């Protein structure tokens, strides 16, 4: 794009020699401005992938990333399972972006509280909201508030060191846990509950979680879904990890798989392979070695299909979870579009732990930002926030909480392309100089907010790695914002 001129009236042109944008008016006059300044709210995968694409595709844009916590990387740090270190390798790419000369990181800044979105819009040519989905979808059933009922988001946050979940202290003294939902997060939780502690000791799981799991009495985990095996939401990698998990054996209900073999031929390849693995696990007689392994297992796990929660059942004192009542369902339709409908039957399952893994949801950040509370997204077209020029969104805030990190990458690249197209076409007004972080930093200082820089984060990173090394782990995370800030500022 360097050196390219747009000569149509009313459009901008780029003058490579001066490194500035020019806006050409009908009367021929030009107004120059500094390089485009873009602000991104949120430093998870959506934020970093948006920044990465902008910086690579536009040679003069400067990107500032604002993050509520003192530490970056969002769900890569706080959501990815501790025994999936390979997934966390994207942090290396994000670090390269954060250390780019045209990128700056400002942690410990709570947008919507410390600074408003409108103030950011006045300071930057464009603002991208990429703060993810930190809310929980609720089951909406009686007993949901009993002790022993947790959201998967909070449970994952607890074992991954999210400061707001540090006090969760789940009671693991029961024998049976029921997880509602059959996506990858549900299987992550089941795997962590049932994994041998010696395996978890080699991960970056937090020390309090490791100690709690070492004393856990949970021996059986049921992973419950409203629909059938053909609609299960997890991927084959996560299911295979459950099948091969040391010290465990599968416990399936054969009747749940009636008619599934006949349906295989019509399934797309990834879904077919996943379903074949379920069928093999549920119905086939294992070989001698596998049978021996199962016979020695002290813990069990099972997928339960065609079940929907009706009520969490309380103990006689009405304080704690004692079980869950499930409605039996059947399918109307077929394939991905099949719908679960109630049959009128119910069954009760005794359990002391219920974990709801039915989805995350985004929350509104600022009254000035349009928000669809029903869909829990910011209304947008290709990442352009509707009726809000200069405002964009990427990641789960844009689409809802779906897909894996690669899905978020593509989603964020698309938003970055929309923003760049708007720069090219003149939809984004780049004629006025914007002060960017200069004015925001002054506002934050007036309000007593001291941001954490990326080099400050690297101090935290070094301390965590050092603590981990001392105990044979890749890292031992700091668990409170206060601890993080203390390390960052020393």
- Residue range 138-358 forms a domain whose CATH class is alpha beta
Confidence of residue 34 (pLDDT cuts 50, 70, 90): low
- The reply, when asked if residue 227 is annotated as ligand binding, is yes
- The reply, when asked if residue 213 is annotated as ligand binding, is no
* Phi, psi at 229, each rounded to 5°: -60, -35
- The reply, when asked if residue 475 is annotated as ligand binding, is no
Torsion of CA 404, 405, 411, 415, to 10 degrees: 150
Confidence of residue 4 (pLDDT cuts 50, 70, 90): very low
Q: Tell me the C-alpha distance between 71 and 49, whole Å.
A: 17
Q: Tell me the C-alpha distance between 389 and 176, whole Å.
A: 52
Is it true that domain 37-134+361-452 has CATH number 3.40.50.720? yes
344 CB burial (10 A radius; 0-12, 13-18, 19+): exposed
Q: Is the pLDDT of residue 2 over 90?
A: no
pLDDT of residue 219: 98
- The reply, when asked if residue 75 is annotated as ligand binding, is yes
- The reply, when asked if residue 77 is annotated as ligand binding, is no
Domain boundaries, the chain: 37-134+361-452, 138-358
- The reply, when asked if residue 226 is annotated as ligand binding, is yes
Q: Is the dihedral of CA 86, 87, 93, 94 positive or negative?
A: negative
Strand duo 30-33 + 220-224: pairing: unpaired
- The reply, when asked if residue 238 is annotated as ligand binding, is yes
- The reply, when asked if residue 46 is annotated as ligand binding, is yes
Residue that the structure tokens 């040519």 belong to: 125
Residue pLDDT, tens place only, 404-451:
899 999 999 999 999 999 999 999 999 989 999 999 999 999 999 999
Q: Could you tell me the end-to-end alpha-carbon distance of the chain, in angstroms, rounded to an integer?
A: 43
Q: What is the mean pLDDT of residues 361-368?
A: 93
- The reply, when asked if residue 67 is annotated as ligand binding, is yes
pLDDT of residue 402: 87
Give pTM, 2 decimals.
0.90
Residue pLDDT, tens place only, 253-284:
999 999 999 999 999 999 999 999 999 999 99
Residue pLDDT, tens place only, 295-333:
999 999 999 999 999 999 999 987 899 999 999 999 998
Q: Is the pLDDT of residue 15 over 90?
A: no
- The reply, when asked if residue 5 is annotated as ligand binding, is no
Which of 362-397 are b and which e, b meaning 16 or more Cβ less than 10 Å from the residue's Cβ? bbebbeebebeeeebbbbbeebbbeebebbbbbbbb
- The reply, when asked if residue 40 is annotated as ligand binding, is no
pLDDT of residue 426: 93
- The reply, when asked if residue 145 is annotated as ligand binding, is no
Alpha-helix runs per DSSP H in 99-196: 117-123, 152-160, 184-194
Query: How wide is the angle at C-alpha 251 spanned by C-alphas 173 and 211, nearest 5°?
Result: 30
- The reply, when asked if residue 330 is annotated as ligand binding, is no
321 CB burial (10 A radius; 0-12, 13-18, 19+): buried
């Amino acid at each position: 794009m360097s050196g390219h001129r747009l000569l149509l009236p009313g459009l901008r042109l780029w003058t490579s020699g001066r490194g500035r944008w020019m806006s050409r008016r009908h009367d021929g006059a030009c107004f120059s401005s500094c390089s485009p300044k873009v602000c991104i709210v949120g430093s998870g995968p959506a934020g970093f992938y948006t920044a990465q694409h902008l910086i690579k595709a536009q040679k003069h844009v400067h990107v500032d990333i604002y993050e509520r916590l003192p530490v970056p990387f969002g769900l890569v740090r706080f959501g990815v399972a501790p025994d999936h270190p390979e997934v966390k390798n994207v942090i290396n790419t994000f670090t390269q972006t954060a250390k780019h000369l045209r990128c700056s990181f400002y942690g410990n800044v709570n947008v919507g509280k410390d600074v408003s979105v409108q103030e950011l819009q006045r300071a930057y040519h464009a603002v991208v909201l990429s703060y993810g989905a930190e809310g929980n979808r609720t089951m909406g059933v009686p007993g949901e508030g009993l002790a022993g009922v947790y959201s998967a988001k909070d449970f994952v946050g607890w074992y991954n060191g999210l400061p707001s979940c540090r006090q969760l202290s789940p009671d693991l003294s029961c024998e049976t846990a029921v997880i509602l939902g059959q996506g990858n997060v549900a299987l992550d939780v089941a795997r962590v509950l049932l994994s041998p502690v010696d395996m978890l000791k080699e991960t970056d799981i937090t020390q309090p979680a490791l100690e709690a799991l070492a004393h856990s009495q949970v021996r059986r985990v049921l992973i419950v879904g409203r629909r059938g095996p053909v609609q299960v939401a997890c991927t084959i990698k996560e299911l295979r990890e459950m099948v091969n998990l040391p010290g465990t054996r599968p416990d399936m209900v054969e009747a749940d798989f009636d008619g599934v073999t006949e349906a295989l031929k019509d399934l797309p390849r990834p879904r077919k392979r996943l379903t074949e693995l379920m069928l093999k696990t549920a119905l086939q007689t294992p070989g001698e070695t596998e049978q021996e392994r199962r016979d020695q297992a002290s813990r069990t796990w099972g997928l339960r299909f065609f079940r929907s929660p009706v009520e969490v059942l309380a103990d006689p004192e009405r304080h704690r979870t004692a079980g869950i009542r499930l409605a039996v369902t059947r399918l109307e339709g077929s394939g991905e579009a099949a719908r679960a409908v109630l049959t009128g039957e119910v069954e009760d399952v005794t359990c002391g732990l219920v974990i709801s893994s039915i989805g995350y949801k985004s929350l509104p950040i600022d009254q000035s930002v349009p928000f669809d509370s029903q869909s829990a997204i910011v209304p947008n077209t290709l990442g352009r926030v509707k009726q809000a020029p200069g405002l964009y969104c990427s990641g789960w805030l844009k689409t809802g909480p779906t897909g894996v990190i690669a899905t978020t990458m593509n989603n964020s690249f698309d938003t970055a392309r929309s923003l760049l197209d708007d720069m090219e076409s003149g939809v984004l007004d780049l004629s006025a100089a914007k002060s960017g972080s200069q004015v925001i930093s002054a506002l934050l200082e007036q309000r007593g907010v001291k941001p954490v820089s990326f080099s400050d984060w690297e101090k935290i990173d070094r301390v965590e790695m050092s603590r981990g090394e001392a105990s044979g782990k890749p890292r031992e995370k700091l668990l409170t914002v206060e601890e993080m800030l203390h390390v960052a500022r020393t």
